[in-house]
Structure 1
């Protein structure tokens, strides 16, 4: 089956946290026989900051950030069995959805794949005239990379025929233990771009922890933090390429995950960083959120913190032996239960059931 996937970027993780999700899931789907073309716009300097060449398992079409280019690439939706438009493309999102779904051939599966579902549902509630309200009543299903029952119920309330989470996961070929690197040595590291609905939580969980533990070394990776006033024991390394994520995760004593505000409030939304860090065998500290125990067990495979003081307290009691033991248990858990092969199996089942129902309707 052919998939036409319209998203932010497969080739660049620059200002694009969904990149590793796309890569892991689509690579696993390709191994199941799907022929995938990924369409991404040349915007936000992503193409100048690629951290991946075009893979042999997916054709990538990079198009200019112009209305004419959008018109051209969306016509290719007619060639696919499954057409997907992801959230957060960052350029003409409403137009791309309208054209892709409109150009899809009869009988094709039309899917909205939301990589930030809690925030999207917030926007839908605040904007009753948003184009997505109309789209939801016309497409076949919504897939999300998290959210659990709150997101499922939310999307159904807005008229979606179905909503199914396909959670983030681990690609063991990409994220795995490596030797530590001196560049990323620290007691606690955090990797995340500076975003409006994340910054306050980074202040609370990361910078407050740094102030509470001035004798500890903190490392901050990600884009947009250059003019941020921060404690003296925080070292900024800027954008960290995907190829360096494993070293970033294994070199410090512990790694911090901080969910964006909407995802933390909703729960059931593990970030890609959770599985990337666990897959590298890192000791992970995360902000506490409902549903965490579905993925990792607090106190054994991960440490959950309610605020910066909790983070500092956990760090104070952490030894290299404890960190290694927790990281090893997390690694074993995610390799056993949370791989992209398992997520692709679920997506494959969803797609096949859709086409079986379509055939049943056509026959009878």
Structure 2
């Protein structure tokens, strides 16, 4: 490979996971890009109290630039600096100046500079563009050199191509084994089933079905609910509300409960091929994962051997009811072997490099779907 790339990346936050579901994804990818010799500057706004709820210091594998959300002067200075990079990335869902950034990064295109729109919530973005045909992003999509997506498989690629995208490559969630790995159990997190996720409008009904319904069916079992926004929600007596669980505690949580539940948001479940970060966090810890059913799950984990799949709260409850501790350990260990072999962020970065024209992508179980 030639010299490493200078990459300017505009995203929600690298240093805070507070109301920021993309944090683990960003960290895994950017750490892996650094390991491959690339230099990343991550530009993030001082917004939504994320800087007040940091869960990590500035890392040594990326330069972090925090700009104010008051006025446009600071973000314009960041754009001017980003113009010296080899690759400029605008991620979806920054939360501040999104429309400005989506248009202005395209002004940085010149020979030798590639500009990428990196959609960390492609199903939601595509549904928004379908509902709002006058959305400014619609006219910008064909001008980007690449659209990378958090997931979505063929349905997302087809939809972006229909919008005129030159190239669309799913870069799936994965495991960073340096941050998510087996850890000692913690008595605070011991229970029969743990679910970790913020309270969001487009997931709450599925949490009601897959988690709270299962808890109601198993009143003698202990259920753990982690994430922000649940304090005002009445919960069954056997559900312990943990509140916000910091990322450095995720390994302990995953290794303490007998099983861990993943629940996709509505749009991700509809599109399929969109495993959440929680899937790989749990697998990386060797936890027994139960996930709501989604199309494409077998590309990442084998149902019944490496993951348990449920289509309703009743099926979640049945899994929890019959699952023994030895069975749970066996499923978790099988999942850990699978993700280490083919689903780390180094595997994903090989796909990024291939898309950018640097090298060929390796053959893995979840090959990119490119158009």
Shorter-chain TM-score range:
over 0.9
For 1:80 and 1:250, the matched residues in 2 are separated by 41
Match of 1:27 among 11, 28, 31: 31
Q: Which structure has the highest helix share of the two?
A: 1
- Counterpart among 268, 272, 276 of residue 267 in structure 1: 272
Structure 1 spans left out of the alignment, 5+ residues? 355-364
Give the whole-Å Cα distance in 2 for the aligned partners of 1:123 and 1:353. Answer: 33
Counterpart of 1:96?
101
**Following superposition of structure 1 onto structure 2, how do residues 235-246 of structure 1 map, counting pairs within 5 Å?**
235-246=240-251
2:208 equivalent in structure 1: 203
Q: What residue number does 1:352 align with?
A: 357
Q: CA deviation at 1:194?
A: 0.8
5 Å matches for 1:178-257? 178-257=183-262
- Shift in Å at residue 102 of structure 1? 1.4
Partner of 2:128: 123
Q: What RMSD, in angstroms, separates the aligned Cα atoms of the two structures?
A: 1.1
Kindly report which structure 2 residues correspond to 1:1-364, keeping only aligned pairs within 5 A, or say none: 1-66=5-70, 67-352=72-357
SS in 1 for 2:202: helix
CA distance in 1, matches of 2:54, 2:196: 18
How far is 1:342 from its partner? Answer: 0.6
Q: Alpha-carbon deviation of 1:97?
A: 1.4
Report Cα offsets for 1:289-310 as digits up to 9, x if no partner.
1000000011111000001000
Q: Structure 1 length normalisation: TM-score?
A: 0.96
Shift of 1:138: 1.2
* Counterpart secondary structure, 2:356: helix
Q: Secondary structure at the match of 2:323?
A: coil
Matched residue SS, 2:137: helix
1:237-289 deviation per Cα after TM superposition (whole angstroms, max 9, x unaligned) = 11111111100111000000000000011100000000000000000000001
Measure the CA separation in 2 of the matches of 1:255 and 1:102.
45
Distance 2:207 2:173 in 1: 21
Q: Distance in 1 between matches of 2:191 and 2:98?
A: 39
Native 8 Å contact 1:29 1:348 kept in 2: no
Contact 1:75–1:100 (CA under 8 A) maintained in structure 2? no
TM-score between the two structures when normalised by the length of structure 2? 0.94
Aligned length: 354
Shift of residue 34 of structure 1?
Answer: 0.8
Preserved contact between residue 78 and residue 105 of structure 1 (Cα < 8 Å) = no
Cα distance, 1:353 vs structure 2? 5.2
- Gaps spanning 5+ residues in structure 2: where? 360-371
